[in-house]
Structures are given as C-alpha cells and as structure tokens.
Chain A
Amino acid sequence: MTALLVGESVSRHFGGLRAVDNVDFHVDEAEILGLIGPNGAGKTTLFSVAAGSVPPTSGRVLLAGTPVSGKSAHRSVHLGVCRTHQIVRPFARLTVLDNVLVGFHYGRPATMPHRDPRGVAMELLEFIGLARDAHRLPGQLTLAGRKRLEVARALATGPRVLLLDEVVAGLNPAEALRLVELIRQIRDRGIAIIMIEHVMPAVMALSDRVIVLDHGRKIAEGTPAEVADDPLVIEAYLGRDAQEPGHA
C-alpha cells in the first residue's frame, strides 16, 4: 500500500531554533501513527506544517502526491488534512451543532454535495456522542465533551488525514478509554490518523506505528513495543542515568 500522507525531510526553524529538523514520516490509509516525544520536541510544530498553517523552512508534505504544506490552513483542509488543537478552540458562542456545521460547510471541497447538512451533522454528533448536547454552547460541556467537539468539527470537514493533538490528555481514565475507542472507530472508517499524545497507554494501545521526536529530530520509529524498548527513547524521556537503580 502506498502512503497517503508523506513528509519529506521536513524542517521548520524559528530563528536559530530548529523546532523540526529534517523529519521524514508517512501514514497510510486507516493507519494510526503515534507521535511522541518530550515537551518542546517539535510535535505540534510538525502538525502545524502538515496542516498548512506554518510553512516549512525546507522539505514538503504530500497528500497522495499533492503538496499540502506551505499553502494555507484552509486549503489543506479542502485537500483533506485537518487538525485539532491541544488546547481546545471551540467557537464559544456558537452551538455545538453550528460548530460542526462550520466544518461541514467550509471544510469540504465545493464539489462535494451538501445534502441535508443538519441531518448529516446530527449523525456525526450521534457518532461522536454529543447528539444530546447539539443545541448547547461548548462552554456547557465538560472538557471531555469539548475534546470530542474538537474531533467532531474536524471530522465534519471530511478529512482523509486527521491530526489529533493530545485529545486524550487531561481526561479521567474512563473518559480516556471511551475516546480511545472512538479514535479506533474513526480509523476503521478508513481515515489516516496521526496523534500526538503524552498518555502512553493510549498511544501504545492505539498506534500501529510510533515516531519519537526529540529536539526536532526523529530519534526512533517502529511498533509501540519496539519504540518503548529503544534506549535512545528512554534516554530522551528520562535522562542518561535513568536505568540505574535508585535514580529513576
């Protein structure tokens, strides 16, 4: 199978800081790629490049062969790459349903038919588990609800690749478990997912493959189990002496 979204030697520098440094990545249809790394490793910057809101300093990101990086956020969405935000950013004074409708109306290419948008949006909310809250404001939802809304709004744009930025973090274990199940169902719809996550059990359970970033560079790639055993990864997370007894 050919990869759906491919990053070729992607770099992004902010002044002298190499936030993302020469990273290659790819994700296939219906695959979940975990993106992990310590704070400040450049994960969110890589998302911003892939989602088009930040142009790469060098390198490029291709969706099925078409460049998506370096254009603009809304064009990336129309091409089929949509992201969520680590700190949820709902449209606070629009209802949950209208939040989703924005994605539905504006996230799709103009050629896609708009048959009964409200019905389709309600179906989507049903799937996400927010149907009962459709006419409430985002501020009236729990954090878990707002994270779901963030995912629902992105899904409404009909993405081929979904970039999830820490959607599980900050939820209690029960909520996290339900969201993990939801992400799996989204993947089963054929959508490629790249997820940044600090909640390791979620990453390990969901990811087909994991990429580890540290100081902007890719230091490891493989199955969750391989990555977890990689000495470089352990060092990046815990420091050099971590494995010595009495220090961890």
Chain B
Amino acid sequence: MRAARSLRWISIRALIAFAVAVLVLWTAPLVLPLGDYTHNIIGLTFMFMAAALAWNWLGGFVGQISFGHSAMFGVGGFVAARLMLAFGLPSVVGWLAGGLVAGGYALLWGHPTLRLRGPYFSIATIGVGEATRLIATYWSDFTGGSSGLSLPLSSGPTKYQLYWYGLYLLVAAVAISYWLRRSRIGLALLAIKEDVEAAADVGVNATRYQDLVLFLSGTMVGVCGGFYASYQAFIDPQDMFSFDRSISLILMAVIGGIGTVLGPTGGAVVFVIIQEFLLANYSQLYLGLYGILLILIILFEPLGLAGLLLRLRRLTGYRPPADVGAGGLTSTAAGGATEAAAVPADQSGR
C-alpha cells in the first residue's frame, strides 16, 4: 500500500531522466575541457539552484513569500564555519550541523509568524532578516564582526571538488521538491496556499505543515550557506545576511517559475549568468535589469521560464491538466467569494 502510494508521485520516466541528467553533470568536468572559472561557477550555480528550490518550498508551494531567507543562509554559513574552525570537523558535517541550526532558527521565528498570511508574513520576514543581520554584525565574537571569518584553505574539499558537493546538494533539493509537491503532502500545501481556513475545516493541520516546510527550507538554505562559506573560504555578516541575498532567492524563483517543481533551478542559472557576465561589465545597471525582468515576468508569464516551456509544449499539442496554474504568483483565494450570500428570492411565489 505504502509502496504504491510512494511510486505514484514520481514517474519512472522522470526518474530515468533525472538519473541521466545527474550522470551527465557528474561526468561532465571529467570529460569536457572546462576552465577553472567555469567549473567553479557551475558548482556555485548548483548551490544557488538548491537554495532557490528551498525558498520555493515555502514561497511557492505554501505561498508564504519570505524576504528573510538570508538569515538562515548566514546562520548556516557561520555555524558551519565556526564548527570547522573550532573542531576541525569535515566540511559536510559542518554544513549539515549549520543547516540544522538554521532550520531550528527558522522555526524559532517562523512558528509564531507563519500564522500571518500574505504581505503581513512578508513584512515580518523583512524584520527578521534585518534584525538577524544587525545582531550578526555586532556579535563579533562569533561572526568576526565586519572583518568576517576566514576558513583555513588546507581543510575540507578543494574548490575543484566542491562542484560535486554542489551537485549532491542540488540532487537532494530536487528530490525534496518532488516529494513536497507530488506526494500527499503537496495537496495539503496547495490547500493551505489557496485558503488556510477552509483547509483547516477539512482537517489539514496548517501549523504543522507550514512548520515542516519552513524547517526543511531553512535547513537546506543553511546548508547552502555552509557550502558558500567553504567556497569563498571567507565570509562576513554584511554579505551573508544581506537583504540582497534574500531578494536574489526570490528573483531566482520568480524568473524560473514560482510554485513550479523545478522552475527555480532555471531561474538560478539565469541569475548567475546575469550576475557573472553582465554585472561584471555593467554593475550600475543590475538593479534596473532585475526590475525590468521582474515586471515583464509578472505581466506576461507569471510562471516564468516554466510557463514559457509550458507554452512551447502546448504548441506541440500537449494539453496540461486543469490545475496547472496551482503554482503561480497570484492567489485566487478571494475569487470564489464573488457570489454574495443568497437572497431568498424565489420564495415569494409560494
């Protein structure tokens, strides 16, 4: 019974395609003559893809848009760095520990604030993100303050090896994305996103599922922070906890397709390309560029790259199921309330 259930949310074809993609990415650097720079950037992109997916679990699947995910990125990064520095822990253990602390931190502020919805939750997360950034900046005993922390270059995987660790991180994030969206839990998350009270009235424990998703999201973003610390070998609070970092996760998800299973990975690729190739040459333009991109997406294709892909598939005769828009930016929760309460009009004739 259980097996039948767990097989349904992932098709054999998707599983094979996934395995092939991972294999190709795993062997690519061994076969292709990638330069050091490209190799490293791809590794970093894997991490951003994983982080964007993790943000999307909360922002896309549950519809709670967080502007404060840099808090977990930073907590994960600094806890991992401190553990590696103090105890010489292997990097992976440090990342996981940092991730778990970040997930716990997310629950600490998220459990009370997740009962807020829409803009109110988002505003609360801005406060959390900024407060965390300030605390981290002034807590110099732990974070090194504005001078930051350096990791010893000799310990842990080399930058070259980080490519594969980034890939594993991405694989984990993709698997969790599928599980969260396609398993039975996905149904509860969508119900919560559509109408949290109606969901409770048919038995969905909204608090439990929102907490679960936030914990997973915070943990994954925290692990990404740890990875980033190892990648840079130097971290400082102003960078790790910056508001820009929270925004960047939102941008990746929106560009790729918020609420879709894999869309944010595409968004992360676009983001890194813009960041690395355009930003380097035209650094004054970047905010404007993101602004224009965001406006175009929201106006014309709320499902981002995933929506564009869907349009292409429609051209080839594919007919998506009716609930394909269940991701998406806008909430239609109020849309069903257009019929005013009934007027007992037809009673007069009796």
A and B: partners? yes
Q: Is A131 an interface residue (CB 8 A)?
A: no
Task: Report chain A residues within 8 Å CB of B328.
Answer: 93
Name which residue of chain A comes closest to B208, CB basis: A74
Of A3-11, A56-64, A165-173, A212-220, the one touching chain B: A165-173
C-beta contact mask, B182-226 vs A, less than 8 Å → 1, else 0?
A: 001001101100110111111111100000000000000000000
A77 to B204, CA, bound (A): 9
Tell me how far the C-beta of A150 lies from the nearest C-beta in chain B, rounded to whole angstroms. Answer: 9
Task: Report chain B residues within 8 Å CB of A143.
Answer: 339
A91 to B328, CA, bound (A): 14
A56 to B84, CA, bound (A): 54
Of A94-102, A122-130, A179-187, the one touching chain B: A94-102
Contact with A74, one of B203, B325, B341, B343 (Cβ below 8 angstroms): B203
Q: Count A-B contacts at CB 8 Å.
A: 137
In the complex, the answer to whether B322 meets A137 with C-beta atoms within 8 Å is: yes
Q: Is B346 an interface residue (CB 8 A)?
A: yes
Task: Report chain A residues within 8 Å CB of B188.
Answer: 102, 105-106
Q: How large is the interface on A (under 10, 10 to 19, 20 to 34, 35 or more residues)?
A: 35 or more
Task: Report chain B residues within 8 Å CB of A83.
Answer: 201
A168 to B316, CA, bound (A): 44
Contact with B346, one of A90, A153, A172 (Cβ below 8 angstroms): A172
In the complex, the answer to whether B201 meets A139 with C-beta atoms within 8 Å is: no
Of A15-23, A25-33, A197-205, A226-234, the one touching chain B: A197-205
Number of interface residues of B (CB under 8 A): 39
Q: Is A154 an interface residue (CB 8 A)?
A: yes
In the complex, the answer to whether A170 meets B200 with C-beta atoms within 8 Å is: no
Contact with A93, one of B194, B205, B344 (Cβ below 8 angstroms): B194
Of B122-130, B283-291, B330-338, the one touching chain A: B330-338
Q: Is B347 an interface residue (CB 8 A)?
A: yes
Task: Report chain A residues within 8 Å CB of B321.
Answer: 95, 135
Task: Report chain B residues within 8 Å CB of A94.
Answer: 187, 190-191, 194, 323, 326
In the complex, the answer to whether B202 meets A198 with C-beta atoms within 8 Å is: no
C-beta contact mask, B277-305 vs A, less than 8 Å → 1, else 0?
A: 00000000000000000000000000000
A146 to B335, CA, bound (A): 13
Q: Is B13 an interface residue (CB 8 A)?
A: no
Name which residue of chain A comes closest to B333, CB basis: A92
Chain B interface residues toward A at CB < 8 A: 1, 5, 184, 187-188, 190-191, 194-195, 197-206, 321-323, 325-326, 328, 332-333, 335-337, 339-344, 346-347, 350
